[in-house]
């Protein structure tokens, strides 16, 4: 099914949605993006996603040619035009057309692209059975070199880790930071449960501050589950009672094996299942 794509204020068929080969988003990964889920024809946590988009852009000195309110309206317009009840929205802002050089001041107007489509990251059986993942050698970008809170178009760090994971026969992979501490997976944040306490790495460990991550932390606290943001080692993960991942596309999904070690009972645990139910009730009203 052909979709309508928002391109600099116009809605055009996806076959006609084109940018220049001189755009620095293509040439250098110079730009930022957000991935947003839609439930019941509404973009979930839209204000939070737009706020993070503008923080990412500000951090790389990229001036978005829309106000945040105009961006919200553009996302809602694109979603409505594609008549999606549930789906995935990708908002992309590139530096714009420039020269074959790094200087961002030689780029013309930034490009704003919004794509709305359907998405299924994992089959439902994975949510019932849990994931098998491995730790990869590709370490997470050092925060002092490139702050992971900047959701930039350059995802090569994650892609290299994804390749390692696929070579190992798994669909997701765990990344450590330069200090050997747990950071995040290639596309998801990680949580563990130990003795009834929900634990997740802090932002300082070098991870993206996920919107779904924050939502799950809020849901856990509302349910009376203690939550700690603290540094984790692989030892902590291997010996956890439960482990699960969160992300815009993944939502909440259990991990039952890490590096050949069975986590807990080897099945999705009670805290994980409860938080998945709470998340689905929040997003779908079920």
- The residue annotated as part of the active site, out of 18, 61, 106, 151, is 151
Architecture field, domain 4-117:
2-Layer Sandwich (3.30)
Is 105 in a helix, a strand, or coil? helix
- Asked if residue 212 lies in contact with residue 247, where contact means CB atoms within 8 angstroms, the answer is yes
Question: Residue 1 above 80 pLDDT?
Answer: no
For residues 52 and 184, give the distance between their C-alpha atoms in angstroms, rounded to a whole number. 18
The string of pLDDT tens digits covering residues 252-267 is 999 999 999 999 999 9
Buried b (16+ CB within 10 A) or exposed e, 214-240: ebbbebbeeeebebeeeebebebbbeb
pLDDT, tens digit, 9 for 90 and up, residues 169-202: 999 999 999 999 999 999 999 999 999 999 999 9
Average pLDDT, the chain: 96
CB atoms < 10 A from the CB of 100, how many? 8
Residue 70 CA from chain centroid, whole number? 23
> For the ranges 71-80, 102-111, 119-128, 230-239, which has the lowest average pLDDT?
119-128
45-76: pLDDT as tens digits? 999 999 999 999 999 999 999 999 999 999 99
What does the block give as tokens for 60?
Answer: 């790389």
Is 151 a known active-site residue? yes
Under the banding of pLDDT at 50, 70 and 90, the label for residue 286 is low
Q: Residues 254, 130: contact at Cβ < 8 Å?
A: yes
Distances (CA, A) of 71 to 48, 56, 68, 79, 113: 12, 14, 5, 12, 11
Q: Quickly name the fold that domain 124-284 has.
A: D-amino Acid Aminotransferase; Chain A, domain 2 (3.20.10)
Contact, 55 vs 126, CB < 8 A? Answer: no
What ranges do the domains of the chain cover?
Answer: 4-117, 124-284
């Amino acid at each position: 099914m052909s979709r309508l794509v928002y391109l600099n204020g116009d809605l055009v068929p996806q076959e006609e949605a084109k940018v220049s080969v001189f755009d620095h988003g293509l040439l250098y990964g110079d730009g930022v993006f957000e991935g947003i889920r839609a439930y019941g024809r509404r973009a979930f946590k839209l204000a939070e996603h737009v706020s993070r988009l503008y923080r990412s852009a500000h951090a790389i000195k990229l001036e978005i040619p829309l106000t945040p309110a105009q961006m919200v309206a553009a996302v809602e317009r694109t979603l409505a035009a594609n008549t999606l009840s549930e789906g995935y929205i990708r908002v992309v802002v590139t530096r714009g057309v420039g020269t074959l050089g790094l200087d961002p001041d030689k780029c013309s107007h930034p490009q704003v692209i919004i794509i709305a489509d359907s998405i299924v990251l994992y089959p439902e059986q994975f949510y019932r059975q849990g994931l098998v993942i491995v730790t990869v050698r590709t370490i997470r970008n050092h925060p002092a070199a490139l702050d992971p809170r900047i959701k930039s178009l350059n995802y090569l760090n994650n892609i290299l880790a994804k390749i390692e994971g696929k070579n190992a026969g798994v669909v997701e992979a765990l990344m450590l930071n330069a200090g050997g501490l747990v950071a995040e997976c290639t596309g998801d944040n990680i949580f563990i449960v130990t003795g009834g306490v929900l634990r997740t790495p802090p932002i300082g460990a070098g991870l993206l501050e996920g919107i779904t991550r924050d939502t799950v932390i809020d849901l856990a606290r509302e349910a009376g589950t203690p939550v700690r943001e603290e540094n984790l080692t692989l030892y902590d993960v291997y010996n956890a009672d439960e482990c699960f991942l969160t992300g815009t596309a993944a939502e909440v999904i259990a991990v039952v094996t890490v590096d050949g070690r069975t986590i807990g009972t080897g099945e999705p645990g009670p805290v994980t299942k409860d938080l998945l139910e709470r998340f689905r009730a929040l997003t779908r009203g079920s």
